[in-house]
Amino acid sequence: MTRAGFKPTTACLEGRSSIQLSYRVGNVSSTIDLRNGGKNKKNPPTPQTLLRSTLLIIFGPPHPPLRGAIKALSMDVKIEDSWKAALKQEFNKPYFLQIATHLKTEKISGQTIYPPGGLIFNAFNTTAFEDVKIVILGQDPYHGPGQAHGLSFSVQKGIPPPPSLINIFKELHNDVGMAIPKHGDLTHWAEQGVLLLNASLTVRANEPMSHAKIGWAEFTDAVISKVSALKENVVFLLWGKFAQEKQVLVDATKHLVLKAAHPSPFSADKGFFGCKHFSKANTWLMSNGIDPIDWAL
């Protein structure tokens, strides 16, 4: 496989048995062996080069195509432009290299990772930064086949809604009279400005919280901080202890923070049912001249 500006020099990129990464950018080529931490005695890559080459493999080539020079090779995550501008500094930080290297290593070793690579940043690609009205913070992507698609609490059509999502629908029905939908795809909310953000953006199949400590928390904390700092009158729905710990990242003097128990069957009856967060969120938005969310699915 050959991509503009990125030419594999061996076939090992496509294999699962090797964790040696060979790459070429412009006139410069090198080999990274992830078994020894990416060290190359003859021509060691810089952290920036390692970051960029690794992320190209995981997230795809930049657009428009590269023109051959290392200087022109910028880490270009497939993420909506307004988010790319808001978060550009994060993509070149060491922790993001750690995320990329971890995902690449697991992928090569044969691990199944959810959601699929093209949906890791689905929340950002569906809800532009300037369109964010509400943030609903989840903890971890669903770890079963076909469930996770990059939106917190949401599952793709054709997949039965998990228990927490069913309880969300019950509260919506009691709060605003919304009919219980037959599917669990919340894309319609995201398209209206509801940022459905998980604290971790990936997970290994059948291993909940398996990527909680690979660096995603730092990235999503930065997302919350950016929304808080650069926008006004956003509603943050924080359900459960984990989400409520993120309140310190939000400026409550210019945003609305609503807290309740998690919608899990283990806690929904301890304060989630009856919280009326959906009507309260819309009341806040309208009072600030912002169009409300149509929660119907």
What does the H/E/C string look like for 105-146?
A: HHHHCCCCEECCHHHCCHHHHHCCHHHCCEEEEECCCCCCCC
185 part of the active site: no
**Contact (CB, 8 A) for 154 and 255:** no
Q: Give the Cα separation of 197 and 225 in Å (integer).
A: 13
Q: How far is the C-alpha of 275 from the C-alpha of 277, rounded, in Å?
A: 5
Cβ atoms of 114 and 202 within 8 Å: the answer is yes
Catalytic residue among 33, 81, 131, 140: 140
In degrees, to the nearest 5, what angle opens at C-alpha 27 toward C-alphas 21 and 31?
20
Contact 183, 177 (CB under 8 A): no
- Residues labelled as active-site residues: 140
